């Protein structure tokens, strides 16, 4: 015979297995690890990713969808509309006489889901394979939630209120699970994070030697080290040096392996473009600039100092790049 005590004990046992402990990660984290390594998903993910990247969108449109104008990905902002509307609708479903407001909120959520999905797919197409796999499952769960809420609204409009509420509950569950996986993608896998944020905390104040000027080749990007921090160094024909952080702010790509064109460097991984003079992110998918360094030459030796503050946009430099 199943009693309340037995059910409670089983739930506690399941929760203990799911959550991490000091000696093991738990079922949830192990499942996410398997998902990251699930290469079987690549057969679906790779064609989808190529399709998203081949959409006829201008560079400016893609940058807007990535959130370059905002300084960080815009997708987390956009998802507030559907999630907030649908969660509010779930609360109203518990309130007598609130059928009409609940329907309105479901409709608002469905309207906001489209823009949120577009920004999410745009970001997703420029991720590493492990992130792409997790992101695909995140998108599938959110799509299932959208489908459930569309069915819920349809059922409510024809008077099938109970069916509509059941579909809404299923949709909220799917969206909640998708959000949890999205959190893993954003925080555990650092998708969309600024990968240069820690650099100002790692480079000590003051000037640091990078070696002799004669060892820096002309017009070719090279990597140099400030203790454990990698920087990109580019030398012009007039011996002017530009020094910025080497690891791309988007996903840590090596800018020293990128290409130099008209005063900018292009990341070899996902094509983000940064201005060498001050590290400004001229083109995405990067939404954060690169930390830049002041440079001086002392007795033929190159010395650099971390430059503080956000670079200002230069219309002249942007025009030259275009």
pLDDT digits (tens, 9 = 90+) for 61-81: 999 999 999 999 999 999 999
pTM: 0.86
Rounded CA separation 55/126 (Å): 13
Q: In this predicted structure, what is the pLDDT of residue 237?
A: 82
In contact, 260 and 221? CB cutoff 8 Å: yes
Residue whose structure tokens are 């499942």: 31
Query: CA 193: distance to chain centroid?
Result: 6
237-276 pLDDT, tens per residue? 888 999 999 999 999 999 999 999 999 999 999 999 999 9
Best CA proximity match to 246, nearest among 228, 263, 237: 228
Cα 38 to Cα 32: distance, rounded to the nearest angstrom: 10
Mean pLDDT to the nearest integer, 282-294: 96
Question: Cα separation of 286 and 123, whole Å?
Answer: 10
Identify whether the C-beta of residue 17 lies closer than 8 Å to the C-beta of residue 29: no
Task: Give start and end residues of each alpha helix (H) in 26-79.
Answer: 27-36, 42-53, 59-66, 75-78
Of 145, 148, 152, nearest in space to 182 by CA: 145
Return the number of other C-beta atoms located less than 10 Å from residue 158's C-beta. 9
| Most confident region among 21-30, 144-153, 232-241 by mean pLDDT | 144-153
pLDDT digit string, tens, across residues 92-125: 999 999 999 999 999 999 999 999 999 999 999 9
User: What is the pLDDT averaged over residues 157-182?
Assistant: 96
Q: Hey, what are 183's tokens?
A: 């959190």
How confident is the model at residue 322, as a pLDDT?
A: 39
- The Cα 29–Cα 230 span in angstroms is 32
In this predicted model, what pLDDT tens digit does every residue of 209-236 receive, in sequence order?
999 999 999 989 999 999 899 999 999 9
pLDDT, mean of residues 184-206:
94
- Of 1-5, 257-261, 280-284, least confident by mean pLDDT is 1-5
Please report, rounded to a whole number, the percentage of residues in the chain having pLDDT higher than 70: 90
Under 8 Å between Cβ of 90 and 166:
no
Long-range contacts of the stretch 267-274 (C-beta < 8 A, 24+)? 270/126, 271/126, 272/248, 273/321, 274/244, 274/248
Q: Are 252 and 241 in contact (CB under 8 A)?
A: no
DSSP letters spanning 154-185 = HHHHTT-HHHHHHHHHHHHHHHHHHHHHHHII
The mean per-residue pLDDT over the stretch 134-138 comes to 98
Is residue 163's pLDDT more than 70? yes
Tell me what pLDDT residue 238 has.
84
Instruction: Kindly state the percentage of the chain with pLDDT values over 90.
Output: 84
């Amino acid at each position: 015979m199943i009693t309340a005590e037995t059910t409670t004990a089983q739930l506690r046992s399941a929760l203990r297995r799911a959550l991490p402990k000091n000696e093991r990660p738990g079922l949830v984290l192990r499942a996410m690890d398997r998902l990251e390594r699930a290469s079987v998903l690549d057969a679906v993910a790779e064609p989808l990713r190529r399709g998203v990247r081949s959409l006829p969108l201008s560079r400016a449109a893609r940058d807007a969808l990535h959130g370059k104008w905002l300084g960080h990905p815009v997708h987390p902002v956009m998802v507030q509309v559907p999630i907030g509307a649908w969660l509010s609708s779930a609360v109203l479903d518990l309130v007598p006489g609130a059928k009409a407001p609940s329907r309105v909120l479901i409709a608002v959520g469905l309207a906001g889901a489209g823009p949120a999905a577009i920004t999410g797919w745009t970001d997703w197409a420029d991720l590493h394979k492990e992130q792409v796999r997790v992101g695909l499952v995140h998108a599938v769960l959110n799509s299932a939630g959208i489908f459930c809420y569309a069915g819920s609204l349809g059922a409510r409009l024809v008077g099938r209120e109970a069916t509509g509420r059941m579909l809404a509950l299923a949709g909220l569950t799917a969206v909640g699970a998708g959000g949890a996986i999205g959190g893993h993608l954003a925080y555990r896998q650092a998708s969309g994070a600024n990968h240069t944020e820690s650099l100002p905390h790692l480079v000590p104040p003051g000037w640091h030697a990078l070696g002799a000027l004669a060892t820096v080749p002309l017009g070719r990007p090279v990597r140099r080290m400030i203790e454990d921090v990698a920087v990109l160094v580019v030398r012009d024909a007039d011996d002017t040096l530009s020094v910025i952080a080497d690891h791309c702010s988007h996903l840590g790509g090596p800018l020293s392996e990128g290409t130099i064109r008209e005063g900018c460097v292009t990341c070899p991984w996902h094509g983000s473009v940064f201005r060498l003079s001050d590290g400004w992110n001229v083109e995405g998918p990067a939404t954060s600039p690169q930390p830049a360094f002041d440079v001086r030459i002392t007795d033929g030796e190159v010395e650099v100092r971390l430059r503080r503050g956000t670079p200002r946009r230069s219309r002249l430099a942007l025009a030259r790049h275009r």
